[in-house]
Structure 1
Amino acid sequence: MSGANITVVVPTLGRRSLTPLLNLLRDDALRVLVVDDRADRRQPLAVPEHVTVLPGPARGPAAARNVGWRATPHEWVAFLDDDVLPDPDWPARLRTDLAAAGPEVGGVQGRLRVPLPAGRAPTDWERVTAGLADGAWITADMAYRRAALAATGGFDERLPRAFREDAELAFRVRRAGWTLRRGERRVTHPVRPESRWISLRTQRGNADDALLRRLYGPGWRDLLDIPPGRRRRHAAITAAAAVATVTGIAAAVTGRRGWAGVAALAATGWAAGTAEFAAARIAPGPRDRHEVTTMLATSVAIPPLAVAHWLRGWWRWRAEPPAVPVRPVREAVAA
């Protein structure tokens, strides 16, 4: 396969990790497009001379990637996140991976490694990031045949976060008649520094899950190869907390023992559920003071926050029609 048929698309918010990534993509056989998805682009991105910068819509990575692949006529489009570090031989291995793809193959995933600290157990955030190494069809390093992207319309721009948008596209590509496989090229995905409250911010993804549930029905996780979550447990914990609060107020106002008993029972359920959740997050970690206090505080806040975001998404997408079957329209493109 000629490398001239490959474009590499990197959506970015201008993180420092972008420069070392682009320096590892110096290969005459690749066209490199960076989609600048910053809301404020008054200061231009500093990129090497072999890189072309396109303005993004500032609506998240799904929309930015669509800008990138639609701007190229090349047969293959390889997507990289702006915080990965490809191996030195990544361009050559990419060409090998794609040359081995038969006409039925619509996408080829690279292999991720996530280095974890030596000498101690990983934190909750480090374990979450390490889970990417086992993810299916994630766009930290995923190449798609342009024909497959065109046939399916590309990434769903209703999914504004780097969360589920890659799994959702992979499902539609397979449903349209293509197959996906793993290649041999490798990238490293370092664990980037984050606030100790990052687990609270990531709960926004529950709103995207509500859209996927609306589109694909109750079996959406199985269809999209997404592991089971804890939403039902979060809902039960949140309901117990709400019942304990309401009945506790009722007991205080009326002085009735019945309300007090219900409040006590609900509070016990809330405490037990929260304790189980916190213990599950603390046990595999370093268990130092900082990590334990962070896990305790966030384990109290996550269940109601997750439920609130889910309900927000459910309300927003309540009238969205379910996804309809896609007719196979795969083009027979020679590898």
Structure 2
Amino acid sequence: MITVVIPTIGRRSLRRLLAALGPDVDTIVVDDRPRFCPSLAVPPHVRVLRTGGRGPAAARNAGWRAATTQWVAFLDDDVLPPPWWMDALLTDLSGLDEGVAGSQGRLDVPLPAGRRPTDAERNTAALMRAGWATADMAYRRDALEAVGGFDERFPRAYREDADLALRLLKAGYRLVKGRRVTGHPVRDDGFWTSVRAQRGNADDALMRRLHGPGWRAAVGGAPGRLGRHALTSTLGLAAGALFLVGGGRAAGRVPAVAAGLGWLALTADFAWARVAPGPRTPAEILRMLVTSVVIPPVACAHRLRGELRARR
């Protein structure tokens, strides 16, 4: 009745996930690493497909198209379901009528006790409120066929699940939230993880192109900061340009200083918004200060790249 599809880039957490599912679950692992990588070490009951680094949307499409069951449950390779997860999934799916295309699991992000969460931990915890995230999402196979599956123009694990959900809703299907719970541990992806995450702004441009300006509200997303990032970046560029053009003269310094102060105020506001709810350790404060300077122009550059690509 159910096939579990797990796209992976070879994280160590995959082995723990497969052990939690056990040998009785029909499981397909889709290896989306570059083709020259060695084969994954998985239990013998697990089927392995390879997509050669084409992205999670392509990996999930390969997985559900290889399945023959009525339902396909997608799990990310960094989640940890409890031992009773399959029984809970069967309970969630039982009795659903043909008009229901998908059932979303509830994600539990364990946060540290005794201190405030870091910026990275808060970002992961936001998945608990995300709509139709494929970290744990089951779909009818015929519904996936009806809309063509995941859109492979989304190259990252970002927005491709929301896009699929919106297309299914527009096609007249319903999506429901189940009662099963899956753990989603927090990963430490390094100092620059919040900067690398700005690549998702390019996918936001494609979402707007495909679903209109109201797409974010349609999937229950919070308003973004791109407008403020654009203003911050503009003021920073203006301050540098005015100072260079002014050649150090007083007439040139005044507007340059005004633009610079505006950039500083917006950057400080952004940094404090990220520092205030966190543990405020020296390492976390340093990370927030540095990345808050870098994020606005990086976010705008990715959005511009996405807009150009979406128009093409």
Residue 131 of structure 1 aligns to a residue in which SS? Answer: helix
Aligned to 2:251: 258
1:280 aligns with 2:270: no
C-alpha contact 2:131 2:219 (8 A) present in aligned 1: no
1:9 aligns with 2:2: no
Residue 53 of structure 1 aligns to a residue in which SS? Answer: strand
- What count of residue pairs does the alignment treat as equivalent? 312
Alignment of 1:108-147 (within 5 A): 108-147=103-142
Aligned to 1:312: 305
Deviates more, 1:54-63 or 1:9-18: 54-63
| 2: CA distance, partners of 1:42 / 1:288 | 39
C-alpha contact 1:167 1:225 (8 A) present in aligned 2: no
| 2: CA distance, partners of 1:104 / 1:25 | 28
Alignment of 1:122-271 (within 5 A): 122-252=117-247, 255=249, 257-271=250-264
- 5+ residue gaps in structure 2? none
C-alpha contact 1:274 1:300 (8 A) present in aligned 2: yes
Aligned to 1:26: 22
| 2: CA distance, partners of 1:100 / 1:244 | 62
1:72-107 deviation digits (Å, cap 9, x = unpaired): 121100000001110110011111111131211100
| 2: CA distance, partners of 1:230 / 1:157 | 26
| 1: CA distance, partners of 2:153 / 2:178 | 29
* 4+ runs deviating over 6 angstroms: none
C-alpha contact 1:123 1:291 (8 A) present in aligned 2: yes
Aligned to 1:327: none
C-alpha contact 1:114 1:189 (8 A) present in aligned 2: yes
C-alpha contact 2:35 2:52 (8 A) present in aligned 1: no
- Equivalent position amino acid for 1:49 in 2: P
| 1: CA distance, partners of 2:106 / 2:215 | 25
Residue 247 of structure 2 aligns to a residue in which SS? Answer: helix
| 2: CA distance, partners of 1:24 / 1:293 | 38
| 2: CA distance, partners of 1:258 / 1:231 | 32
| 2: CA distance, partners of 1:241 / 1:230 | 17
C-alpha contact 2:147 2:167 (8 A) present in aligned 1: yes
- Equivalent position amino acid for 1:137 in 2: W
1:130-169 deviation digits (Å, cap 9, x = unpaired): 1111111100000001111111111111111111111111
| 2: CA distance, partners of 1:27 / 1:109 | 23
Aligned to 2:84: 89
| 2: CA distance, partners of 1:158 / 1:179 | 24
| 2: CA distance, partners of 1:107 / 1:41 | 35
C-alpha deviation, 1:27, in angstroms: 5.2
C-alpha deviation, 1:218, in angstroms: 2.2
Compute the RMSD of aligned alpha carbons: 1.2
Percentage of matched positions with identical amino acids:
56
Aligned to 1:50: 45
C-alpha deviation, 1:42, in angstroms: 4.2
| 2: CA distance, partners of 1:55 / 1:243 | 48
1:36 aligns with 2:31: yes
| 2: CA distance, partners of 1:61 / 1:35 | 9
- Pairing partner for 2:63 from 68, 73, 78: 68
C-alpha contact 1:27 1:91 (8 A) present in aligned 2: no
1:164-212 deviation digits (Å, cap 9, x = unpaired): 1111111111111110111111110000121111011111111111111
| 2: CA distance, partners of 1:182 / 1:212 | 23
| 1: CA distance, partners of 2:192 / 2:3 | 36
Deviates more, 1:114-123 or 1:270-279: 114-123
Quickly say closer, same or farther: Cα 1:241–1:213, change in 2 above 3 A: same
Aligned to 2:285: 292
C-alpha deviation, 1:227, in angstroms: 1.6
C-alpha contact 1:26 1:50 (8 A) present in aligned 2: no
| 1: CA distance, partners of 2:217 / 2:284 | 32
Aligned to 2:94: 99
| 1: CA distance, partners of 2:167 / 2:259 | 43
